[in-house]
Amino acid sequence: MTNGELLAQESDLQNGDAYAAVLLRVILIMMLADGEIADAEVTTIVEIYHQQTGIWLDVETISLAVQETLADKEDSFVQMGGAALSAEQKAEILRSATAVSLSDNDRCGTETSCLFMVARQFGIPGAELIEILREAAASVHSKV
């Protein structure tokens, strides 16, 4: 993915490709939540993004996407993009975010708060999010 393609993701929200754009933003939010970028988190992001979209991310693309994520202080991108997603796509993004949060073996309160914030922006009730988190955590732990 080139820088131009990544920058075009915001316009993709209007063109129907919101899933890939919102997925990347949310998993980056999770990586950044604890204030540290662990190698395991980056590896997990690359793998998840490839599994979900068929696209391999490189370091330059991730770096640019991190800058864009940090610049969006209100996380308006997630809320706007989430409106174009199905309930299953939203749940899959939250499962992916959970996998990122668990990849460094240190899920902190800030990461949990971020998961609830994204769920709120997606219109997913807390009880449903808790079930998604349980399923995702069980899946991640079964792979270890």
Q: What is the pLDDT of residue 134?
A: 87
Domain region containing 102: 3-143
pLDDT at 64 over 60: yes
The number of folded domains in the chain is 1
Host H or E run for residue 25:
helix 18-32
Q: Is 108 exposed, middle or buried (0-12, 13-18, 19+ CB in 10 A)?
A: middle
CATH number for the domain harbouring residue 119: 1.10.3680.10
- Rounded CA-CA distance 32/29 in Å is 5
Higher pLDDT pick, 140 / 95:
95
pLDDT digits (tens, 9 = 90+) for 18-40: 899 999 999 999 999 988 888 99
What percent of the chain lies above the pLDDT cut of 90? Answer: 44
71: which DSSP letter? H
Q: Is the pTM of this model over 0.85?
A: no
No. of helices (H) and no. of strands (E), the chain:
9, 0
φ/ψ of residue 27, rounded to 5? -70, -30
